[in-house]
Chains A and B, each alone.
Chain A
Amino acid sequence: MANEKQRGPAMPQDEARLMARICAQDLPAFEELYRRYRPRLARFLTHLLRRPQLVEEVFNDTMMVVWSRPDSFSGASKLSTWIFAIAYRKALKASRREDEPIEDAHAHERVSPDAGPDQRVGQLRVQQALLGAIGQLSPNHRAVVDLTYFHGAGYREIAEIMDCPVDTVKTRMFHARRHLKRMLAGEFADWL
């Protein structure tokens, strides 16, 4: 997803071939794309929606659009931008449908499995604090944070995914960072 803003939407050749085959309703090609996008798209949606059932629903709906309407990808953007934009729109629609506030009830159960025993306590504390702080952000702010830090997207690409001005993306990130800094004040002191 990274490093494309200045060069235009040149698509990796293997993704172009996959999309060509998907346009011809080639199921193995679609399965490969599904498996390729599942980790990062599911992560994005999990941060955005916070509910496993909604994540699954929106992820599947997004992939159904890719499968049933591959022709709607015009090639004007990167494939990942197109897919993430579909997912973002569907996620917003799904979250509007739900009345309850979205909380991350399982945040405390998640911690990197590769941490050694001596690292786990400190890492768990940081991750819990971070997940809690991110969980208090609005979905739009969470989306910008995740797209920037995890997916390596630039502000122009995020603006395209979220269908908003670049300055709005910058502003959302500014507020999100300020919030994270406030919530993680203790951790920040240790990091310096």
Chain B
Amino acid sequence: MIDTVDNATATPEQEQPFRELGLKDDEYARIREILGRRPTDAELAMYSVMWSEHCSYKSSKVHWKHWSANTTPEMKAKMLAGIGENAGVVEIGDGWAVTFKLESHNHPSYVEPYQGAATGVGGIVRDIMAMGARPLAVMDPLRFGAPDHPDTKRVLPGVVAGIGGYGNCLGLPNIGGEVVFDSSYQGNPLVNALCVGAMRTEDLHLAHASGTGNKVILFGARTGLDGIGGVSVLASETFSGDEGGTGRKKLPAVQVGDPFTEKVLIECCLELFAEGIVVGIQDLGGAGLSCATSELASAGDGGMHVQLDRVPLRATGMTPAEILSSESQERMCAVVKPSDVDAFMRVCAKWDVIATEIGEVTEGDRLIITWHGETVVDVPPRTVAHEGPMYERPIERPDYQDALQANGPEQLARPSTPDELRAEVLRMAASPNLASRRWVTEQYDRYVRGGTVLAQPSDSGMIRVDEETGRGVALATDCNGRFVKLDPYTGTQLALAEAYRNVAVSGATPLAVTNCLNFGSPEDPAVMWQFEQAVRGLAEGCKELGIPVTGGNVSFYNQTGTTAIHPTPVVGVLGVIDDVRRRIPTGIGAEAGETLLLLGETHDEFGGSEWAHVAHDHLGGLPPKVDLARERLIGEILVAGSRDGMVSAAHDLSDGGLAQTLVEACLIGEVGARVVLDPDQDPFVQLFSESAGRVLVAVPRSEELRFTEMCTARGLPWRRTGVVDPESQSLEIQGIGDLPLAELREAWEGTLPALFG
């Protein structure tokens, strides 16, 4: 029997499985208080998914104050939409607006790597479409356990194939991302997905359901039994260990994606936008129709009536609660004026997209959902979508933090002879976190749509937005979880600094920030301390750089038993370049006779470094210092260098230090170089330190004086560190030895294929 509102009113004492659905006792009591009765099964399903951590941000929302407190009016000025919308939107010039967002699909990807990763791509792309934008490109920051662990061999190939299998069929170029290995992610890989889209500024579509009498149309795939309860079960409680710490895992239903349906849905949506017949639009992602109807209704100025029995199904016998919480992929919900419904249906028919009028915007302020004429949901939509619980979780700096920071890298044995240093350059180049990502990126289409100007192995991905003017955007995502573990505030600012720098080295001006904050359990005060530090670090860092946070995503409960992952706030930075023809490539040797300059300063900084990780499996001490004013200066100098044609290549220094940057710059450019280290500083420190705020640039000899004078005048330290040598086919580091490119290439490119086939 279907549980109707009348039935719920008549049977107040009926037991309900709210705990199994992830609701706490007090949360259930609050629902009863809001409704003045017990919820129906359908209402309970809606509240439980919408009040899950994943949808409600109940543990993190209290910290959002740091974003607003650190956003100045100048930072706000370029934002057309910010936090709270499906994705942030910024103006980039020439009448274009760009929207981008980063989101996690961690838990599903561990359970079912291919489909988990595939549907992660699908979901983020629909978020971008829900802003009225044409999706332009995707990228995927990924983190896995130890590279030689048997489970990594299960998870990584599946995730990569899933991202490729789905993204390649959508016709969206994959322009970058990250692949990081660390045993802290062994039982909790991180699969984050980013999508960027563009639209004319006047075409921005915000999700709302205004206008009494307007029709609500569900279009795209049919609704089935896949992914039911996925949000609450997967994202909230999956990995909670019991007292014994055995970490029993509920086996959830991961959604299955159909990229062909999504591709057709994209084209259909774009045609609908072009026709100007969409009043409001919302994607169906986590929490499915529960989310879409309550968010559309609560963002509008009226109520909404939905006839749930009209929803096209792919399974028989589904209950209203199941239909409302199904996470079947490739669905969208639109609000359309009655006079435009026929035109809407014609466009959908052209693309063979199923479209069904399921309801309408009503007077009043209730979301009412009926099932064959009987009311199964009657709620104030804001209480479902926006007024969920909010927790001020206890925060406590963990006991181990002092010991961790005291255990610095100073005592680690360092290579010192030329032979040892030469061998270390090769060992580092071949190490799993520094080795070429080609095995992964070759499985992604980076060319489709013809606008890709830079993609992996470049520091950032760059896409042309306007074919006439050449205006484009650059994107990079970064985070070194080890730095964040050592000092969450500084570590997060280092992630921001690196993403900012990676955009700047391409010649683009950094403009906006998004993030995906991957942490352990919010019920652990130590994790909440990391989280609070990270949010504050990011917010204050953005203020110093003068670029706003336009949106973000939080993924909690990334832990196995009581052991959390390294805190991993992945930071994405978007930059704009007014003409992509002036982009700065990563590989050296584009012009004859280039000088190599090292910008910035190198200090003895090895806490959390890749060298300490590879050589000693050591994590302790403090991360490198961060100087955001310096990062900003480097960014300005690189943009000026690009604009005036003074810089022919640039590559940032980060994981693995100068040695790795030189190896990559030579291998990508397919030319040799001769490098002279500073005689007054330890060669080991110069080659492997991970001090922030450094970039290797190649400048044509004719521009060298002009460029270095600009650096000096603006107070940026620089050092002439070598020359490009197209004849030599080797990287020669004076006093250390000769590294033939063939030997370097074998080291750099051999690792991932050897591990994963």
Answer whether A and B are interacting partners. Answer: no
Q: Give B contacts to A, CB under 8 Å.
A: none
Interface residues in chain A, defined as those with a beta carbon under 8 Å from any beta carbon in chain B: none
